[in-house]
Amino acid sequence: MRSLLFLLRKEFKQIFRNKSILAMIIGMPIIQLLIMPLAADFEIKNIKISIVDHDRSVYSKNLIDKVIASGYFQLNDYSTSFEQSFQQFEANNSDLVLEIPQHFERDLVKLQEGSLLLAVNAINGTNASVGSAYLSNIIGQYNQELRKQGLSASIAMPATIEVATLNWFNPYLNYPFFMVPGILVSLVTMVGIYMCALNIVKEKEVGTIEQINVTPIKKHHFILGKLIPFWVIGVFVFSLGLLGVARVAYGIIPVGSMPLLYSYLAIFLIAILGIGLLISTYSQTQQQAMSLAFFVIMVFILLSGLFTPIDSMPEWAKVIANLNPLTYFIEVMRMIVLKGSGFAQIKSHFLAMIAFAIFFNGWAIINYKKTS
């Protein structure tokens, strides 16, 4: 036990002496949490639209006003020639072209039907699909309004079903509410895996690990001496993010139990540090460890349900997502922080995370050898 104390004292001294690590554990969570949620906002705004108006009537003007007033679209250009607008399209200056044909108003009034052309620049798939959906919606509303105005009194009003939606747990569909807890998890993961793996591999590179291996230090003491400091740092980074940035910048105050959340974090960190340890046992240089850790973290983050729902992934991706510790912690974060779930609801998540912690650490310990 005493040698563990000496190891811990040494690790903490080295960490606090290393300016770049300090910057990483304090600066990184703050900056990332301030910037990432804004960039990872899926609400599409400022879709650039080109409008070709061949009709130039009151009706077409009204329609254009409605589109612009919706707040989702930015008028890029307004012209009477499709070719001209299409050039804007080709130059990637606009995402959508809405063409209003000649006699739009006349046809609407007389024939009670109108047609519009909507051309979508599908290079940016999200902008394209969301933009055209928004636009169709707006046109549909406009259509309804025209009918209500009694434009065509002769036509029987179709019965309208109004759907009232109630957003539970995040009533204003506040995007950061949803993203920040998840981003915090990925942040803690990165800090944990990178720091743990690089630290151990650095000792290999410098040669001090050989010196350690020739001492009677017990293998599990050495490993604990590495894991405990990074576990503490992980808790610190998490708290800084949750109690600092998330609360001050986004007003996120966890609804659920904090001891429950921190218990889960404790196990999660053990699992994550086990992955860092495992990476270090397979790497001889910091460069190798870095590349390996980068690969693992990328897969973990992309297949964790942070940015895209797991339900819409293909079957093989779902399998990976279910074998990914991040998936579970992100879910738990959202459940406890936003919904206030209790232990009963996340019991299976606890079991899964304990299994991860045992699996990764067990593998790493078997693979870490004092004697080759």
Partner 1 sequence: MEKEIVISAHKLTKKFGDFIATNEITFKVYAGEIFGFLGANGAGKTTAMKMLCGLSIPSAGEATIAGFDVYRETEKIKQNIGYMSQKFSLYEDLTVVENIRFFGGIYGLSNKELKSKSEALIKTLGLEKEVDKLVGSLPLGWKQKLAFSVAILHEPKIVFLDEPTGGVDPVTRRQFWDLIYDASDRGITIFVTTHYMDEAEYCDRVSMMVDGYMKALDSPENLKKTHGAATMDEVFFDLARGAQRQGD
Q: Which of 95, 94, 132, 92 is nearest to 116 (CA)?
A: 132
d(CA 124, CA 103): 32
C-beta separation of 308 from 294 below 8 A: no
Calculated CA dihedral for residues 139, 140, 143, 145, nearest 10 degrees: -100
Q: What is the 8-class DSSP label of residue 156? A: P
71, 158, 207, 259: which one contacts partner 1 (CB under 8 A)?
A: 207
Distance CA 301, CA 194 (A): 14
Please report whether residue 17 would count as binding partner 1 according to CB under 8 A.
Answer: yes
Contact present, 193 and 279 (Cβ < 8 Å): yes
Contact segment (CB under 8 A) with partner 1 among 8-16, 77-85, 266-274, 281-289 equals 8-16
Asked if residue 213 binds partner 1 (CB under 8 A), the reply is yes
Nearest to partner 1 of 104, 222 (CB atom): 222
Nearest approach, Cβ of residue 230 and partner 1 (Å): 17
Given candidates 35, 75, 206, 298, which one binds partner 1 under the rule CB under 8 A?
206
What would the two tokens of residue 132 be?
A: 């055209």
168: number of Cβ within 10 Å:
7
Among 41, 90, 145, 210, binds partner 1 (CB under 8 A): 210
Q: What is the arrangement of strands in the sheet containing 73-79, beginning at the earlier edge strand?
A: 73-79, 47-53, 96-100, 117-120
227 is a contact residue toward partner 1 (CB under 8 A): no
Pick one of 115, 136, 141, 215: the residue that binds partner 1 (CB under 8 A).
215
319, 236 in Cβ contact below 8 A? no
Q: Which two tokens stand for residue 204?
A: 């290999």
Coil/strand/helix, residue 155: coil
> Closest distance between partner 1 and the C-beta of residue 215, in Å?
5
Return the C-alpha torsion angle 48, 54, 57, 61, nearest 10. 0
Size of the site for partner 1 (CB under 8 A): 25
Q: Using CB under 8 A, which residues numbered 36 to 55 contact partner 1?
A: none
- CB nearer partner 1, residue 22 or residue 133: 22
Stretch that binds partner 1, among 29-37, 157-165, 213-221, 357-365 (CB under 8 A): 213-221
Six token digits for residue 302:
């992309």
Q: Which of 1, 9, 185, 365 binds partner 1 (CB under 8 A)?
A: 9
Q: Are the C-beta atoms of 50 and 85 separated by less than 8 Å?
A: yes
The correct pick among 129, 211, 239, 287 for binding partner 1 (CB under 8 A) is 211
For the CB of residue 17, give the shortest distance to partner 1 in the complex, in Å.
5
Examine residue 286 and tell whether it contacts partner 1 (CB under 8 A): no
**Interface with partner 1 includes 371 (CB under 8 A)?**
yes
Question: Does 56 help bind partner 1 (rule: CB under 8 A)?
Answer: no
Biggest alpha carbon–alpha carbon distance for the chain: 96
Q: Which stretch binds partner 1 (CB under 8 A): 13-21, 96-104, 263-271, 282-290?
A: 13-21
Per CB under 8 A, which region of 3-11, 102-110, 275-283, 348-356 contacts partner 1?
3-11
Check residue 13 for interaction with partner 1 (CB under 8 A).
yes
Stretch that binds partner 1, among 2-10, 48-56, 115-123, 179-187 (CB under 8 A): 2-10
For 63, the token pair is 């329609």
Query: What letter would DSSP give residue 310?
Result: G
- Regarding 10 and contact with partner 1 (CB under 8 A), the answer is yes
Which of 217, 228, 235, 290 is the binder for partner 1 (CB under 8 A)? 217
Q: Note whether 20 binds partner 1 by CB under 8 A.
A: no
Terminal Cα distance for the chain, rounded: 25
What SS3 state is found at 49? strand
The answer for residues whose C-beta is within 8 angstroms of residue 92's C-beta and 6 or more apart is 121, 123
Which residues in this chain contact partner 1 in the complex, by CB under 8 A? 2-3, 5-7, 9-10, 13-14, 17-18, 206-208, 210-217, 370-372
